[in-house]
Chain A
Amino acid sequence: MATLEIRDLHVTVEVENGTKEILKGVDLTVKQGETHAIMGPNGSGKSTLAYSLAGHPKYTITEGTVLLDGEDVLEMSVDERARAGLFLAMQYPVEVPGVSVSNFLRTSATAIRGEAPKLRTWVKEVKEAMQHLNMDPAFAERNVNEGFSGGEKKRHEILQLELLKPKIAILDETDSGLDVDALRVVSEGVNRVRETGEVGTLLITHYTRILRYIKPDHVHVFAAGRIAESGGPELADKLEAEGYEAYTKGGVSA
Chain B
Amino acid sequence: MAEAQNIPVGSTTAGQIAVAAESTVATRMSAPPSFDVADFPVPHGREEEWRFTPLERLRGLHDGSAVATGDGLKVDIDAPEGVVVETVGRDDARIGKAGTPVDRVAAQAYSAFEKASVVSVPKETVLSEPIRIAVHGEGGIAYGHQVIELGAFAEAVVVIDHTGDAVLAANVDYILGDGAKLTVVSVQDWDDKAVHVGQHNALIGRDATFKSFVVTFGGDLVRLHPRVSYAGTGGEAELFGLYFTDAGQHQEHRLLVDHNTPHCKSNVAYKGALQGDDAHAVWIGDVLIEAKAEGTDTYEMNRNLVLTDGARVDSVPNLEIETGEIVGAGHASATGRFDDEQLFYLMARGIPAGEARRLVVRGFFAELVQQIGVDDIEERLLTKIDEELEASV
A-side interface residues toward B, CB under 8 Å? Answer: 54-57, 77-79, 81-83, 87-88, 90, 93-99, 103-104, 107-108, 111-112, 143-144, 160, 164
Q: How far is the CB of B203 from the nearest CB of chain A, in Å?
A: 33
Indicate which residue in B341, B349, B364 contacts A108 across the interface (CB closer than 8 Å).
B349
Q: Are A57 and B340 in contact, with the CB atoms below 8 A?
A: yes
Interface residue? B360 (CB, 8 A): yes
**Which chain A positions have C-beta within 8 A of B351?**
79, 107-108, 111
Which residues of chain A are near B366, meaning CB under 8 Å? Answer: 98-99
Q: Which of B10-48 contact A (CB under 8 A)?
A: none
Known: A79-B350, A111-B350, A112-B349. Is A94-B360 also a contact (CB below 8 A)?
no
25 pairs from A and B in contact (CB 8 Å cutoff): A57-B340, A77-B353, A78-B344, A78-B347, A79-B348, A79-B353, A79-B356, A82-B347, A88-B348, A94-B341, A96-B363, A99-B359, A99-B362, A99-B366, A103-B359, A104-B359, A107-B355, A108-B346, A108-B351, A111-B349, A111-B350, A143-B363, A144-B345, A164-B349, A164-B350
> In the assembled complex, which residues on chain B have CB atoms less than 8 Å from the CB atom of A87?
348
Instruction: Given A98-B364, A98-B366, decide whether A90 and B345 contact each other with a Cβ distance below 8 A.
Output: yes
In whole Å, how far is B222's beta carbon from the nearest beta carbon of chain A?
24
| A-B pair number, CB within 8 angstroms | 79
Given contacts A56-B344, A57-B340, contact A111 B352 (CB under 8 A): yes
Q: Residue on B with the closest CB to A83?
A: B350
Instruction: Verify B347–A99 contact, CB threshold 8 A.
Output: no
A7 to B236, CA, bound (A): 63
Q: Is the CB of B349 within 8 A of A96?
A: no
19 extra interchain contacts, Cβ-Cβ under 8 A, other than A79-B353, A82-B350, A96-B342? A55-B348, A57-B344, A78-B348, A79-B352, A82-B348, A82-B349, A88-B348, A90-B348, A94-B341, A96-B345, A97-B363, A99-B363, A104-B346, A107-B355, A108-B351, A111-B349, A111-B352, A112-B349, A144-B345
User: Once the chains are docked, how many angstroms separate the CA of A103 from the CA of B355?
Assistant: 12
Judged by DSSP, the binding face of B is helix
Q: Is the CB of B353 within 8 A of A99?
A: no
Nearest chain B CB to A135 CB, angstrom units:
17
- Please measure, in the bound complex, the distance between the C-alpha atom of A57 and the C-alpha atom of B344, giving whole angstroms: 8
Category for how many chain B residues contact A: 20 to 34
Which chain A residues lie closer than 8 Å to B355 at the CB level?
107, 111
Q: By the criterion CB–CB under 8 Å, are B341 and A98 in contact?
A: no
Closest 9 CB pairs of A and B: A98-B363, A111-B350, A82-B350, A108-B349, A78-B347, A98-B366, A94-B345, A99-B363, A112-B350
Residues of A with C-beta under 8 A to B352: 79, 111
A96 engages B359 (CB within 8 Å): yes
Q: For residue B310, give the distance in angstroms from its CB to the closest CB of chain A.
A: 23
Q: Does B365 contact A (CB under 8 A)?
A: yes
Within the complex, what minimum Cβ distance (angstroms) separates B271 from chain A? 10
Chain A nearest CB from B92 CB (Å) reads: 43
B365 cross-chain contacts in A, Cβ below 8 A: 98
Closest to B366 in A: A98
- Asked if B349 and A98 make an inter-chain contact with CB atoms under 8 angstroms apart, the answer reads no
Q: Mark each residue of chain B from 348 to 386: 1 if its CB lies under 8 Å from any CB of chain A, else 0.
A: 111111011001101111110000000000000000000
Cα-based distance from A163 to B346 in the complex (angstroms): 15
* Residue in B344, B359, B362, B363 whose beta carbon sits within 8 Å of that of A94 in the complex: B344
Inter-chain contact A96/B360, CB cutoff 8 Å: yes
User: Which residues of B have CB within 8 Å of A57?
Assistant: 340, 344
In the complex, what distance in Å separates the CA atom of A78 from the CA atom of B367?
27
A107 & B340 in contact (Cβ 8 Å cutoff):
no
Determine the distance from Cα of A57 to Cα of B347 in the docked complex, in whole angstroms. Answer: 12
The reply to whether B347 and A79 form a contact with Cβ atoms under 8 Å apart is yes
Q: Which residues of B contact A81 (CB under 8 A)?
A: 348
Question: Given contacts A111-B352, A111-B355, are A97 and B364 in contact (CB under 8 A)?
Answer: yes
* B residues in contact with A78, CB < 8 Å: 344, 347-348
- A98 and B346 within 8 A (CB): no
Min distance, Cβ A96 to any Cβ of chain B, angstroms: 5
Q: A98-B362, A98-B364, A111-B355 are in contact. Are A54 and B342 (CB under 8 A)?
A: no
State whether A98 touches B350 (Cβ < 8 A): no
Contacts of B341 in A (CB 8 A): 94
What is the minimal beta-carbon distance from A174 to any residue of chain B, in angstroms? 15
- 8 A Cβ contacts from B264-321 to A: none
A143 to B370 alpha-carbon distance, docked (Å): 12
Interface centre among A81, A99, A104, A144 (most CB of B within 10 A): A99
